Amino acid sequence: MLTVKNAELDTVCGITSKFPKTEFSELAFAGRSNVGKSSLINALLNRKKLARTSSEPGKTRTVNYYKVRCGSDRSEEDVFFYLVDLPGYGYARTSMEERAKWGPMIEKYLRMSDTLRCVVLLVDIRHDPTADDRQMYDWIVSADLKPVVVATKADKIKRSQLDKQIKNIRTILKANKDVKILPFSAETKQGREELLELLEGFIG
């Protein structure tokens, strides 16, 4: 199990900047704007305001690299990795121009990173995944990465609805049975430990 010891914003990449060559494994996070990505990153890293959350969606236009140091019961030494926050997509009021840049930027990142080990796709547990979500999912698979899907805001539905919603997400993404779809809540921290454990399997 990982215990987060330190996390800091290391690099911010704009649309035209080159992605850095990092010395540790990269774990990337993708999803629609407002899906709860910043909240999940903060919950995961036990930090209140490291990643900026906003009720105004569509603000992030950058790829943010957080350098994370963890203790691990699997090794004596601390474990380092980069958590990579990819730009949110699908926000209705984003200009066409901005929207046109999102795809190539994500594709370029997936192609260029040598140390990328995993992309976590976030979808809202209450809603059907969108065409953009499906595109993102297919890019992850095409990049020969094993997708991890996190269904956010799990506190917003009844427990009795959970299985049904997960099944629905699986069907729409066409994710086969061995793809993990993990219910998560930044409010209650449901799924946090399981996600950390899953991520630990990808680094090192």
Smaller CB distance to ligand GDP: residue 80 or 127? 127
- Counting other chains too, the contacts that 193-197 makes at CB distance below 8 Å and 24 or more residues apart are 193/1, 195/44, 195/120, 195/148, 195/150, 196/1, 196/2, 196/44, 197/1, 197/2
Q: Which does 39 bind (CB under 5 to 8 A by kind): Mg ion, ligand GDP, none?
A: ligand GDP
| H/E segment holding residue 116 | strand 116-124
120 touches ligand GDP by CB under 6 A: no
CA distance 98 to 158: 36
Q: Which does 155 bind (CB under 5 to 8 A by kind): Mg ion, ligand GDP, none?
A: ligand GDP
Q: Which does 113 bind (CB under 5 to 8 A by kind): Mg ion, ligand GDP, none?
A: none
Q: How many residues does the chain have?
A: 204
Smaller CB distance to ligand GDP: residue 79 or 154? 154
Smaller CB distance to ligand GDP: residue 22 or 34? 34
CB neighbour burial string for 166-203, b if at least 16 within 10 angstroms, e if fewer: bebbbebbebeeebebbbbbbeeebbbeebbebbbebb
Site for ligand GDP in 15-44 (CB under 6 A): 31, 33-39
Smaller CB distance to ligand GDP: residue 79 or 123? 123
Three-state DSSP class for residue 185: coil
Site string for ligand GDP, 38-77 (x = CB under 6 A): xx-------------xxx-x--------------------
Chain residues that interact with ligand GDP, rule: CB under 6 A = 31, 33-39, 53-55, 57, 88, 152-153, 155-156, 185-187
Interface residues with Mg ion (CB under 5 A) are 37-38
